[in-house]
Every structure is written in C-alpha cells, then in structure tokens.
Chain A
Amino acid sequence: MNPSLKLFLVLIISVEVSFTSKLTVNLLLVAAGLILLLWTRPSGLTLTHLLLIPAIPAGALALTVGAFTPAHDWFFAAVLASRVYVYVLLGSAVTRTTPPLTLARSLEQNCHLPAKFAYGTLAAINLLPRIIRAVKTIKAAGQMRGVTLSFWSPRLYFKAILSAISWADQLAQAMESHGFVEDQPRSQAQVIPLTGRDWALGASALLLVQLALVALP
C-alpha cells in the first residue's frame, strides 16, 4: 500500500478511536494490528517489548478508572487499555513496514509536501546514531570533570544544541552541494506509485472501521 495513504489511514483511525469508546472495535483493531505486525516477522525481543511495555500505561489507566473513580467503570477501563494497544500496534505496523526514505519520497511525490521538509527531516532522522553518540559523549565529558549532567541540566541541552546547529549547517551545505535547490522542480530517482488499488484498499479499510463503529456495541 502507498506509504502516505497508509500513514494517514492509521492516523485517522487513531483519532477516531480516541473519541469513541467501543470495546469490540478496539479489540478488532488490536487483532488487525497484531496480524500486520506479525506479518513483518519481528524478533521475539521486539514483540515482547511492543506487547509488554504498553501494559504499564494501559494497566495504570485501567486500574485508575476501574478501582479509583466513583463510577468503578470497568468497561471504560477496558476501553482505555485496549485504546493504548490500538495506538501502539497500528502505529508500529506503519513504522515497521515503511522505511523513512520511502515515506519521505511518498510524502513529496503523492502529497506534494515541499521537498525541503521531506528531505530536511529525513536528513535529521538519518543523523540519529550520531545524536545518541553525541549526547553520551557530552555526558562522559561532564563526568570527567566531576559534573553529572542529567535531563534537568541546562548545560547538557546547551551543548547538544550547539552540535545540532553545526550539523544543520553542514548537512544543508552538503545537500546543496549535491544539487539540492529549494523550491525547484525535482526529478525522481524512484517513483512511488499511488494506484487505484491503494485508494480502494484505504477506502474500504476506513469504511469497515466506520461500519464497525456504528454497528458493533
């Protein structure tokens, strides 16, 4: 399915789920998300991570609503818990099947997002390993001087932002020296198709969710 269409479909469904409280629909969506996720053949570790970590917020929400509110509404508690899993499973089904590059290309070609936004963000995402290393280096450098930098230390953010400014400069220069010009028409290395089949698939999935929302309890 077309990456942009897939993303928007999941976003629409997630927003809809936020404003409705139908347990059956949530459970069906969780099942669908789980199947899509298994389709990507995740490792056992990823799967446990995706299934167990959300249990903390889901369980906390459910317990609070069920046991500590005046109404003791265990049905709504189950709705909230399943809602958390809808977000997590559908959301990761998208990110696990769509590489950032494909998504950026699709957003540029199919949704006419300005290329500078698509590829600017992509450039930043690709820098992720270096960002993680830089944050570790800053912390280590602080520790060598006997200073512990934690998430509440302004200095940690300050140093990280200084690195970010120089990276942004270098990346922009690199992209421009490779021929990237803002607001100019671009040729495409890889065309991301948006076919009638994609539209049909997206529309029918959306329609199914609407029908389920209306028809099921």
Chain B
Amino acid sequence: MHTTRYHLKDIILLALIGIIFGVIYYAGDFLYNGFTILLTPFGLGPMANDLTMGLWCMAGPLAAMLLQRPGAAFFGEFLGAAGEMFLGGQWGAANLISGFVQGIATELGFTFTGYRRYNWFSLTLTTLTATLVTFGWDWFRNGYAHFSGQLDLLLLGARFVSIFLFSGVLVKLISNLLVRAHVIKTVRS
C-alpha cells in the first residue's frame, strides 16, 4: 500500500502536528532567547539558533513516520509554519520561508531512500540532509559566510547534534510509542 494522495483528514492532521510542535516549542521559548543572551559574550550568539534547530525540524520527520508517503515531511513542516504564522510568533510571514526550507530539508532523507524505508536509517539520513540544507540557508541569511571557518565548523557540529537528538532520536522514540499503540500500523524496514 503506497498511497500518495492527500485527503482533507491528512491535511488537517499534518497542519495540526506542525502547530502542536510549535506550541510545545513556544512553551520552551526562553531557550532560544536565553541561550542567545548566555552565549553572546563568548562570541557564540548564533549558536542558539543551531542548538534549537532540532526542535524546529521535528514536525517534518515525525509526519513522515506517521503518514509514510511522499511529501509528508514537507507538508508537516510547511503547514505547521503556516499555522505558526498566525500564532502570534515574532516572525510573521517570514515563518513561511523557514518552513519551506526546513520542509525540503527534512523531506530529502526520505526521498533518498525512495520513500520505502521509514526506520533508523532514513531518519538518520534526514538529520544529515536537514543539517546541511538549513546550514546552507543560514550561510546566506544569517551571514554565516562571514564567520571564521572554526566558528562555522563549531556551529555545524552543534546543529547536527541538536537535529540528531531531537529530529532523530526523539522522533524515533515518539514513533516507537505510536507503533506500540498501533497508530502506525505497518513499519516497513
């Protein structure tokens, strides 16, 4: 069974998942601002962005594990961003751009495995593609190109650790619970 169509129910679910992850993240919003204030005196201010990136990218991989079809990760991230746009977050419509980039970033890992594997391997691959794509975007947008090579390496490392822990390990733990509850019915390996 390899459905690619999206019905009304799936679309609502994808948007809901994106928004829920946004809501949970906002509860820990002080993280980003707190990290930024803490790290800036050491010249590591932007690292807050990298350290929390994994949280932002969680909805995509989770949506893919749940619905197991092409585009799920992208729509999970993007529709979630569209929802957060009206959440009263500070970024407004600019959310859509980040959502678009993160959507593609988290979709790629599943694309590379041909949408056949929804397991450790494709999740790890997704954390890799998500790290590289979002870093590439920040290379331009947040001026990472202007940092020293050493700092960039450090930021890339921090970003990978964050994305691996949250979008990889935590997503896998959540989907394990969902499998045990028979919400995810078939696990292709």
Chain B's nearest CB lies how many Å from the CB of A133?
10
Q: Is A156 an interface residue (CB 8 A)?
A: yes
Known: A57-B36, A63-B45. A131 touches B23 (CB 8 A): yes
Are B40 and A91 touching (Cβ within 8 A)? no
CB of B116 to closest CB in A, whole Å: 23
Return the chain A residue nearest B42 by Cβ: A68
CB <8 Å contact, B33 and A56: yes
Please measure, in the bound complex, the distance between the C-alpha atom of A14 and the C-alpha atom of B101, giving whole angstroms.
Answer: 14
Contacts of A96 in B (CB 8 A): 92
CB distance from A47 to the nearest CB of B (A): 12
A165 near B183 (CB under 8 angstroms)?
yes
Within 8 A of A (CB), among B78-102: 79, 82-83, 85-87, 90-97
Q: Which of B105-113, B123-131, B145-153 contacts A (4 or more CB under 8 A)?
A: B145-153
Total contacting residues, chain B, CB less than 8 A? 66
Choose one: A18, A54, A64, A176; the contact of B8 (CB below 8 Å): A176
A130–chain B nearest beta-carbon distance, Å: 10
Q: Main secondary structure on chain A at its contact with chain B? A: helix
Docked Cα-Cα span, A206 to B155, in Å, equals: 35
Asked if A127 is an interface residue, CB under 8 A from chain B, the answer is: yes
Q: Choose among A54, A60, A94, A164 the residue that contacts B13 (Cβ–Cβ < 8 A).
A: A164
Of A49, A65, A116, A161, which one neighbours B147 at CB under 8 angstroms?
A65
> In the assembly, what is the distance between CA of A90 and CA of B146, in Å?
25
Contact B12 A172, beta carbon cutoff 8 Å: yes
A172 touches B24 (CB 8 A): no
Task: Give the most central of A10, A70, A94, A124: most B CB within 10 Å.
Answer: A124
Asked whether, in the complex, the Cβ of B24 is within 8 Å of the Cβ of A95, the reply is: no
* Set of chain A residues within 8 Å of B93, measured between Cβ atoms: 7, 10-11, 14, 90-92, 94-95
A120 at interface, CB cutoff 8 A: yes
Chain A residues within an 8 Å CB radius of B21 = 157
Nearest residue, chain A, Cβ from B29:
A53
Q: Contact check: which of B82, B92, B97, B173 meets A121 at CB < 8 Å?
A: B82
| A191 interfacial by beta-carbon distance below 8 Å | no
Taking Cβ atoms with an 8 Å cutoff, the residues of A that contact B are 7, 10-11, 14-15, 18-19, 49-50, 53-54, 56-57, 59-61, 63-65, 67-71, 73, 76, 79-80, 83, 87-88, 90-96, 100, 116-117, 119-121, 123-125, 127-128, 131-132, 135, 150-152, 154-158, 160-162, 164-165, 167-169, 171-172, 175-176, 180, 182
Offer 10 A-B interface pairs, CB within 8 angstroms, sorted by A.
Answer: A11-B97, A15-B97, A60-B45, A76-B143, A116-B6, A120-B8, A128-B23, A161-B17, A165-B13, A168-B16
Known interface pairs A73-B146, A95-B92, A125-B19; 19 further A-B residue pairs with C-beta atoms within 8 A, sorted by A's residue number? A18-B141, A49-B90, A57-B48, A71-B146, A88-B91, A91-B95, A92-B90, A94-B92, A117-B11, A121-B79, A124-B79, A124-B83, A125-B83, A151-B24, A151-B55, A152-B170, A157-B21, A161-B20, A171-B12
Q: Which residues of B contact A (CB under 8 A)?
A: 6-13, 15-17, 19-21, 23-25, 27-28, 32-33, 36-37, 39-40, 43-46, 48-49, 55, 58, 62, 66, 79, 82-83, 85-87, 90-97, 140-143, 146-148, 151, 166, 170, 173-174, 176-178, 181, 183
User: A-B pairs with the 10 shortest C-beta distances?
Assistant: A91-B92, A60-B45, A68-B43, A120-B11, A124-B15, A168-B13, A87-B94, A92-B92, A172-B9, A154-B173
